[in-house]
Amino acid sequence: MSKLWGGRFKKPFDDDAAQFSYSIQIDKVLYPYDIALNTAHALALMGAGIISAEEHSKIVTALAKIKFEMDLGLDELIQGDEDIHSCIERLLILELGDLGKKIHTGKSRNDQVITDTRLYVKDQCDIIITLLEGLLKALFLQANANDKLVFPGFTHFQTAQPVVLAHHLLAYFEQFERDITRFRAVYASADVCPLGSGALAGNNYELNRELVARELGFGTITRNSMDAVSDRDFLIEFLSASSLCMTHLSRLSEELVLWSSPMIGFVTIGDEFTTGSSIMPQKKNPDIAELIRGKSGRVLGNLTGMLSTIKALPLTYNRDLQEDKVYLFDSAATVRDSIRCMAKMIPTLEFNLNPIAAALETGYILATDFADYLVKRGVPFRESHEITGQVVLFAENHGRTLEQLSLDEFRQFSSVIADDVYAVLTLGASVDAKNVTGGTARRQIQQQLHRIKENYQW
């Protein structure tokens, strides 16, 4: 079969130019969507009287055969084709002769590729949302198993205030729930059918665009043909949601890398998600967490690359847009693989009580509770902050923790301090004092876990 566009050219396309410009090794993953698109388009062609019912039946049967053969071995069917659209059309013509040549009536590769891409993005959103729900369940189960373990909370990676470990894990639960919300919004943004927009101006055949949209599972159709073929907003939104999701995965990975270091030792990651060293036999490296952290940069780069590609493009279609699928496919695969690995790694985590307990004894982690105690005794907070700082300095100079100071030593700094101060200066009292919605009190955590269990029926 000749190329889709060769009629007005005197010289053949240069071999290097062809290798540079052909996209089939990238966009071949779109073949199921392109076959579905051609099947729906054939129905519209029959409705418009371009093909007969008998011709429609032959085209649909041939497309189903091509789909079956591609499922078995796609690469074997590619023969120097420019892209997956021209490959499928070549195979259809090979099967049906001149009848196959009618399939491109009323459509352009411009509206064809963007329709395929929207279908792909919708499917990827569904897949990623399902994977994220699996990750949420893994986090929930770990949080549920650690709903009473007091854990050091950090700011500036210095011990700050005690929290319950479940509270820390549920912070990531919140982030990944927001990711699900974003991917659902991307799905809605992609759920608009551009087919029938032609190259840029529409089509001359009064094809029933609403029918085609319903056949392909779209919720609605585009309203402007020029925007339809040049719009990549939904794709950028997908890359943006992917970047945020990978950022959240990277932050969790960073904590797992730090916590699993022998210098900290808070957690042991399962053997299934760690590797050894080629020279140091004692090493147990958190490679999967590191790889997720590293791959997040690539996904962020894809978003930047796509924005850079589209920022100066005039309407409507420009060949620069061929690059969109490079960014899209890479990001989708990376996000899927990263979530899948993280969801399987979380259940393997074993938290080590002794290093956690030792960390809770550092950094005067109960100092804020002491300042709040003074406030409840009538001391203005700014003054209580100053007094607490002085007490911490005193304890530090004498090599003791706050709770090890005597009442007389406390009273050097404020006469309002009484025996009940020691009831405040415990880890349990500290966390349970944060009994507000969103706080780390064990009562609040139980309520959060119950709400999650009810919402997800886990």
Q: Does residue 422 surpass a pLDDT of 70?
A: yes
Q: Does residue 438 surpass a pLDDT of 50?
A: yes
156, 278, 406, 415: which one is catalytic? 156
Q: Percentage of residues in the chain with pLDDT exceeding 90?
A: 93
Instruction: Tell me the C-alpha distance between 39 and 51, whole Å.
Output: 13
Rounded average pLDDT over 66-92: 97
Q: Percentage of residues in the chain with pLDDT exceeding 70?
A: 98
Q: What does pLDDT average to over the chain?
A: 96
- The pLDDT score that the predictor gives to residue 281 is 81
Q: Which residue has the tokens 């491109």?
A: 104
Instruction: Write phi, then psi, for 82 (nearest 5 degrees).
Output: -70, -45
- The pLDDT score that the predictor gives to residue 282 is 83
In CATH, the architecture of 362-428 is: Orthogonal Bundle (1.10)
Q: Are the CB atoms for 157 and 145 separated by under 8 Å?
A: no
pLDDT in tens, 364-405: 999 999 999 999 999 999 999 999 999 999 999 999 999 999
Q: Does residue 3 surpass a pLDDT of 80?
A: no
- Which CATH superfamily is 110-150+161-204+216-352 part of? Fumarase/aspartase (Central domain) (1.20.200.10)
* Helix, strand counts (H, E) of the chain: 19, 6
DSSP structure string for 390-405: HHHHHHHHTT--GGGS
- The pLDDT score that the predictor gives to residue 149 is 98
Contacts of 413 (CB under 8 A, 6+ apart): 387, 390, 391, 394
Instruction: Tell me the C-alpha distance between 337 and 454, whole Å.
Output: 28
Q: What is the dihedral of CA 37, 39, 40, 43, to 10 degrees?
A: 150
Q: At what angle do helices 287-310 and 233-260 cross, to 10 degrees?
A: 160
- The pLDDT score that the predictor gives to residue 247 is 98
In 3D space, the residue among 176, 289, 301, 316 whose CA is nearest the CA of residue 239 turns out to be 301
Lowest mean pLDDT among 87-96, 173-182, 272-281: 272-281
Q: Is residue 6 very low, low, confident or very high in pLDDT (cuts 50, 70, 90)?
A: low
**What CATH number was assigned to the domain covering residues 15-105?**
1.10.275.10
Lowest mean pLDDT among 7-21, 267-281, 355-369, 376-390: 7-21
Rounded average pLDDT over 18-24: 86
What SS3 state is found at 373?
helix
Instruction: List, by residue range, all CATH 1.10.40.30 domains of the chain.
Output: 362-428
Rounded average pLDDT over 118-128: 98
Lowest mean pLDDT among 230-234, 243-247, 275-279, 284-288: 275-279
Please report, as a single letter, which amino acid is at residue 249.
Answer: L
By the 10 Å C-beta count (0-12 exposed, 13-18 middle, 19+ buried), 378 is classed as exposed
Q: Is residue 280 very low, low, confident or very high in pLDDT (cuts 50, 70, 90)?
A: confident
Lowest mean pLDDT among 3-7, 18-22, 450-454: 3-7
Between these two residues, 281 and 331, which has the higher pLDDT value? 331
Q: Does residue 2 surpass a pLDDT of 70?
A: no
In 3D space, the residue among 240, 209, 219 whose CA is nearest the CA of residue 304 turns out to be 240
415 carries an active-site annotation: no
Instruction: List, by residue range, all CATH 1.10.275.10 domains of the chain.
Output: 15-105
- The pLDDT score that the predictor gives to residue 1 is 45
Q: Is residue 339 very low, low, confident or very high in pLDDT (cuts 50, 70, 90)?
A: very high
Rounded average pLDDT over 413-435: 97
In 3D space, the residue among 189, 306, 184 whose CA is nearest the CA of residue 245 turns out to be 184
- The pLDDT score that the predictor gives to residue 277 is 80
In 3D space, the residue among 219, 137, 142, 130 whose CA is nearest the CA of residue 180 turns out to be 130
Instruction: Tell me the C-alpha distance between 94 and 90, whole Å.
Output: 6
52, 57, 261, 277: which one is catalytic? 277
398 carries an active-site annotation: no
Between these two residues, 53 and 12, which has the higher pLDDT value? 53
Q: Is residue 7 very low, low, confident or very high in pLDDT (cuts 50, 70, 90)?
A: low
pTM of the model: 0.95
Instruction: List, by residue range, all CATH 1.20.200.10 domains of the chain.
Output: 110-150+161-204+216-352
Rounded average pLDDT over 171-188: 98
